[in-house]
Structure 1
Amino acid sequence: MKRRLFIKKTTATASLLGIGITGINAMNILHPNKTTNLSNMFKLNYAPHLGMFKNHAGNDPIDQLNFMADQGFTAFEDNGMKGRALETQEKMAKTMSDRNMTMGVFVAHKIYWKEPNLASGDIDKRKEFLNEIKESVEVAKRVNAKWMTVVPGHVDLRQNIHYQTAHVIETLKQASAILEPHNLTMVLEPLNFRNHPGLFLSESPQAYQICKAVNSPSCKILFDIYHQQIQEGNLIPNIDNCWDEIAYFQIGDNPGRNEPTTGEINYKNVFKHIHSKGFKGVLGMEHGNSISGKEGELSVINAYKESDSF
């Protein structure tokens, strides 16, 4: 098993890379299933994604999931899960179940990055979206997912913003009616103006207003800390103001959209605040690695240990 080879070689690798892995960190990485109860490693449910640890675990998604679990991660997210082969979905679901990992978000539908869909009020675009939500219900059941990401698409420059908002709300109400019987939740993700110019949904207060109008347990907010640092800042107060509509978080430091400790966000304080409010959900690690190769992968693990040590 590749993981076993990794366990044997990690000490030498760490020494060569100049990364200090001592005490509890060394025990967790070198002997993940022997002397330490990793289910209590982190205070929050951080969720890596495929490819984040491929230099240690290899390309096979099952090996990658097992590696994540071996390092103490209790959740996993996969934007592209819907597009994976049914057999792969089933194998991944079984592995997550066996390792007591929570499945996080996957993207529920085609995202319109350059043209309006939900904001336009176009009935055909609405039907397309609702059909994709129905398809995503089956994927969610297969992989034991509770949440799916929804991005309402581009603004419609030919319509007043208030009409656009009404169109989005009506579509999301109809989508919620599909999801509610299955106890599934679509999480609306506001995206920042710099990386994604022209999108309809960009700010947390806007997402909050829409969720209040939809008024369904199946329509909540995905608060992406990276996006909202760029878009609006004032992170902790905005988290507090949106709290009763937030169902999911995603992580990335700014600038760079890499792991915590590489940018300006004080993630230790942000995580401490989220934990203090009793959050039991998933925080997706939707970011890159600031350093390539095995060294970078170990840096990601250590960054989460540091940021979680509040």
Structure 2
Amino acid sequence: MSWTLRYAPHLGYRPPFDPLFSALVGSDDPVAHVAFAAEQGFTGVLCAAARRWSAGEQERVGQAIERHGLQAGCVLYTTFDQLKNTSWATDSDDARRWISDELAQATAAAKRVGARQLAVLGGARADQPMGPQREVFVQNLCIAADAVARDGLVLCLETLNGHTVPGMLLHHMPDALDVVRAVDHPAVRLIFDTAHVQAMDGNVLAELDAAWDHIEIVQLADCPGRLEPGTGQVDFTGVLNVLARLGYQGLVELEHGWAQHGVESEQRGLDTLRILDEAALKSLNGDAP
């Protein structure tokens, strides 16, 4: 089973950390999900919450990923409960020590699972203007980028839906682009998450075009609700056609939940993805507008 683009289902990305295809696999064991991903012809698996696993579990999953010839998707640089930590926006030695320690732990986890990208999100201080906080963010990213680059890793900045996750440094793709351009380092790039971009910026295709040169990872989820493609407002046909036409070689991480849980819903999601992917192939071959 072959695909036009390089898809990677998640192994659990937010509480309660259920893997994407729990019903079809019949288990929450991440190694079983790695095997399922390989059986489906996927390119990789998203290990966003790898830091919640023990070192031994990280190694076990990493060995399975390598054994099946898959690629590990991005790893969140910190634990889920620290997503709103404001250290990235803080100009202090303590803040930079905290960042350094989190990145060291994330780097170790990434190496165990075989990941090459760390997802970075940072909280903003409500009692301070945003402009100076983003300037400090740039400064801290410059320091961090040199450190992770020595380990062959890339820091990937992600915008978040401000309606559901308020108080972050980056909610809009143009602001994320400004930060990446200000850092101007090859180890600092972007995650383009369709649900977050749709919720905050609206025109997903225009934002995809504007950010193209700086995108490291694309994540698929519909909006509203972060559910499977076809349940909301995102033009997934347009998104995947663009990725195929422009020769996107990164992972397309499936970071969504289900409108309804169960085998039928998950199988329908696979079928929908297949239809979208086949349309992208036709677009690549010039058979679609």
**TM-score, normalising length: structure 1:** 0.83
Percent identity, aligned pairs only, is 28
Corresponding position: 1:195 with 2:156: no
Aligned to 2:15: none
Aligned to 1:7: none
Q: CA deviation at 1:185?
A: 0.4
Cα contact 2:31–2:61 (8 A) shared by 1: yes
Query: One-letter code of the match for 1:47?
Result: A
Deviation string 1:99-136 (CA, Å, 9 cap, x unpaired) is 22110011112464556332232431221012111222
Corresponding position: 1:141 with 2:108: no
Aligned to 1:47: 8
CA RMSD of aligned residues (A): 1.6
Cα contact 1:103–1:143 (8 A) shared by 2: yes
Distance 1:114 1:85, change over 3 A: closer
Query: One-letter code of the match for 2:234?
Result: I
Corresponding position: 1:218 with 2:187: yes
Aligned to 2:122: 152
Corresponding position: 1:99 with 2:68: yes
Q: CA deviation at 1:171?
A: 0.7
Query: One-letter code of the match for 2:7?
Result: Y
Higher CA-based Rg: 1
Query: One-letter code of the match for 1:42?
Result: W
Distance 1:80 1:198, change over 3 A: same
Query: One-letter code of the match for 2:8?
Result: A
Query: One-letter code of the match for 2:256?
Result: H
Cα contact 2:24–2:267 (8 A) shared by 1: no
Corresponding position: 1:280 with 2:249: yes
Higher deviation after alignment, 128-137 or 167-176: 128-137
Aligned to 1:291: 260
Query: One-letter code of the match for 1:91?
Result: R
Instruction: Name the SS of the counterpart of 1:309 in structure 2.
Output: helix
Cα contact 1:224–1:249 (8 A) shared by 2: yes
Cα contact 2:84–2:121 (8 A) shared by 1: no
Aligned to 1:204: 173
Distance in 1, matches of 2:222 and 2:236, equals 8
Instruction: Name the SS of the counterpart of 1:73 in structure 2.
Output: coil
Corresponding position: 1:177 with 2:138: no
Question: Of 278, 282, 286, which aligns to 1:309?
Answer: 278
Cα contact 2:85–2:122 (8 A) shared by 1: no
Distance in 2, matches of 1:59 and 1:120, equals 38
Aligned to 1:265: 234
Corresponding position: 1:130 with 2:91: no
Cα contact 2:222–2:231 (8 A) shared by 1: yes
Instruction: Name the SS of the counterpart of 1:298 in structure 2.
Output: helix
In structure 1, runs of 5+ residues without a counterpart are: 1-37
Instruction: Name the SS of the counterpart of 1:300 in structure 2.
Output: helix
Deviation string 1:232-281 (CA, Å, 9 cap, x unpaired) is 01111211111111101111111221111122222012101012111110
Cα contact 2:162–2:171 (8 A) shared by 1: yes
Aligned to 1:255: 224
Equivalent pairs, count: 270
Aligned to 1:9: none
Distance in 2, matches of 1:309 and 1:175, equals 40
Cα contact 2:158–2:192 (8 A) shared by 1: yes
